[in-house]
Amino acid sequence: MHYPTNINLLLDAMRKVIGLVYDLSQKNGMSGWRKHNYNYKEIKKQYRKCQKKSRGSKKNEKERIKAFEAYMEVAGAFLERAEETIMEVASRSSEFSSEISAIEQFMGDAYLQMDQIERRIINGEPIAHEEKIFSVFERHTEMICKGKAGVAFELGLQVCIMEDQHGFILHHRVMQNEVDVDVAVPMVEDTLEKFPELVRCSFDKGFWNPENLKLLSRLLDFVVLPKKGKLSNSDKQRQGSEEFAEGRRKHSAVESGIAALENQGLDICRDHGIEGFECYVALAVLGRNFQKLGAGLQAKALKRARRKRPDKGGWKQAA
């Protein structure tokens, strides 16, 4: 993963198109893509020019636009050649349909980036967040706004975890195209299926909405769900109880579980695809639970050893 911009996403897509079309032409004994490495270098040369023109002041806006237009022109020419090649291969045989499908997917990404470059850079049109992609390789990637000093955003997917009072993770959910308010009720429902003895749960403010409070109150005996914004008298009474305050104090313990998952490798997913991401998260959760279990067993063993040898690890008391 790298910081996504229209020009470097276009470069990623073109690198894959040129490489895959070269492989396809080699399999079919076709000429025309022998200089595929040189072709990619030509595109990268135009990309570097766009990078240089994008730095500094906006005084040379015309030169900047010319650089972007030249970049799109070169990329467009190679896309046309790639389209001709795959059409010729498809007319010969249907054996390479999967390879052609992969090429067409990256070509679609290239055309999307070219369209957004034209709209954003040349026409000055803002691009809606929903239209953007953040990786041509890991298409499930989302931009997560952290709102913290020094970390404005992260690239990836959010993961929600349900942790018990002993620090074991009972359930987790990869939040694809979801936010906190969307997963509060499903998380509790799924956890209750596995652990029917769950009777109370604490949430952050991000999970708040009136409907969630209503539904969760039916599922659980007690819900710690702080309200966003100004509190009504009934909300003040609900959040002013000692039981609610106790739940809020204990809620901070889940932060250590999140930090432990990140420190043990979940900060960066080294697998590929959404299936790989979900598998990576599940293994990290399993590893965290094994770690907690091992720490508990070690603590019990140490306690037993100290009881058997009272002369070690402490002061003797005179009778």
What tokens appear for 205 in the block? 């403010």
Domain residue extents for the chain? 6-131, 138-178+252-310
**pTM of the full predicted structure?**
0.81
Q: Long-range contacts: 112-121, Cβ < 8 Å, 24+?
A: 113/6, 113/7, 113/9, 113/10, 113/13, 114/10, 114/72, 114/75, 114/76, 116/6, 117/6, 117/7, 117/10, 117/68, 117/71, 117/72, 118/72, 120/6, 121/6, 121/64, 121/65, 121/68
Q: What pLDDT does 286 receive?
A: 92
Q: What is the DSSP string of 198-222?
A: --EEE--GGG--HHHHHHHHHHSSE
Local structure of 28: helix, strand or coil: coil
Span 43-88, pLDDT tens digits: 999 999 999 988 866 667 888 999 999 999 999 999 999 999 999 9
Span 168-195, pLDDT tens digits: 999 999 999 999 999 999 999 999 999 9
Provide the pLDDT confidence category of residue 14 given band limits of 50, 70 and 90: very high
User: Secondary structure of 255-299 in the HEC alphabet?
Assistant: HHHHHHHHHHHHCCCCCCHHHHHHHHHHHHHHHHHHHHHHHHHHH
Provide the pLDDT confidence category of residue 31 given band limits of 50, 70 and 90: confident
Residue 226 scores a pLDDT above 50: yes
Provide the pLDDT confidence category of residue 260 given band limits of 50, 70 and 90: confident
Among 93-97, 116-120, 313-317, the range scoring the smallest mean pLDDT is 313-317
Residue 297 scores a pLDDT above 80: yes
